[in-house]
Amino acid sequence: MINMQLTFEESMERAKEILDSANQIVALLGVGVVMECGALNYLNNEVIYRIEDTYHRSPDEIMSTGFYSARADRFFQYYKEEYLADRCKPNETFMALKKLDDEGRLKACITTNTHGLEKEVGIRKVIELYGSRNVNWCTKCGKRFLVDYILNSKGVPVCDECYNPIRPGIRLYGEMIRNDVMTEAANACQEADALIVLGTNFYDSMVRFAINHYRGDKLILISKHEHFRDKSADIVIHEEVKEILPKLVLDK
Ligand SMILES: [Zn+2]
């Protein structure tokens, strides 16, 4: 049921009731969640200008399959200096999600972030739609490499066994999200009894994808930044996720 008349307190109360009684919770995490952990926002104009100044291309252009194929050296310069250098640590939001997982009530954590914070705190079922920066692999033999191996390599990183180039385990612009990953995410949403959308909004195509597969009426959106489409959620709370989710989950 859509109800935009709820006050903040009523929304909090209702969201708490929903999360307390749900047993198949799916959380969908957007960029807002990692920004609250200190990650850079690549949609921020200042960040974009700085990167264009330094690398003479926009972040989106550099992180594209075309640029990666044509200029692997320049790609990896950026990837190491900017993308991998953008490190952050899990905050209270992740502790709250971990608690739901420990209670056996978190069905899945679907994320559009590549920092790997969900796995870092030990959440068991993580669906990384855009891949992970922690998984890089050899294009020839498939051997996997951690971030530090990439950071410590000179130029284009190569496999220590077969000397072929390593590619990053994230989705580049121009690449499709893997089918099996999309199916997994769709199935999780279909079976969810509550869906919490965190740090993103209904403008995001992945959020719309998830919602299209969710059949329930317990859709909670928590995001600092408002978007006019947000009203499609059953409960909307426009605050920082790290302020709200712990109150809903950790305060008993
Ligand atoms: Zn190899």
pTM of the full structure: 0.93
177 Cα to the center of ligand 1, angstroms: 24
144 Cα to the center of ligand 1, angstroms: 9
What pLDDT does residue 1 have?
A: 46
What pLDDT does residue 204 have?
A: 85
pLDDT class of 4 with cuts at 50, 70, 90: low
Instruction: Say if strands 106-111 and 126-128 run parallel, antiparallel, or are unpaired.
Output: parallel
Rounded Cα distance between 208 and 25, Å, is 17
What pLDDT does residue 5 have?
A: 75
Fold for domain 134-167? SIR2/SIRT2 'Small Domain' (3.30.1600)
Residue ranges of the chain that CATH labels 3.40.50.1220: 8-39+90-133+176-249
158 Cα to the center of ligand 1, angstroms: 8
Rg (the chain; Cα; Å): 19
180 Cα to the center of ligand 1, angstroms: 24
Range with lowest mean pLDDT among 27-36, 121-130, 172-181, 226-235: 226-235
Residue ranges of the chain that CATH labels 3.30.1600.10: 134-167
What pLDDT does residue 252 have?
A: 62
What pLDDT does residue 113 have?
A: 95
Q: What is the pLDDT of residues 174-229, one digit of tens each?
A: 999 989 999 999 999 999 999 999 999 888 888 889 899 999 999 999 999 888 77
Q: What is the pLDDT of residues 97-111, one digit of tens each?
A: 999 999 999 999 999
Q: Give the percent of the chain with pLDDT over 70.
A: 98
What pLDDT does residue 247 have?
A: 96
Residue 2 has pLDDT above 60, yes or no: no
183 Cα to the center of ligand 1, angstroms: 29
The residue count of the chain comes to 252
What pLDDT does residue 165 have?
A: 95
161 Cα to the center of ligand 1, angstroms: 5
| Residue range 8-39+90-133+176-249 in CATH 1.10.10.10 | no
Mean pLDDT of 25-42: 93
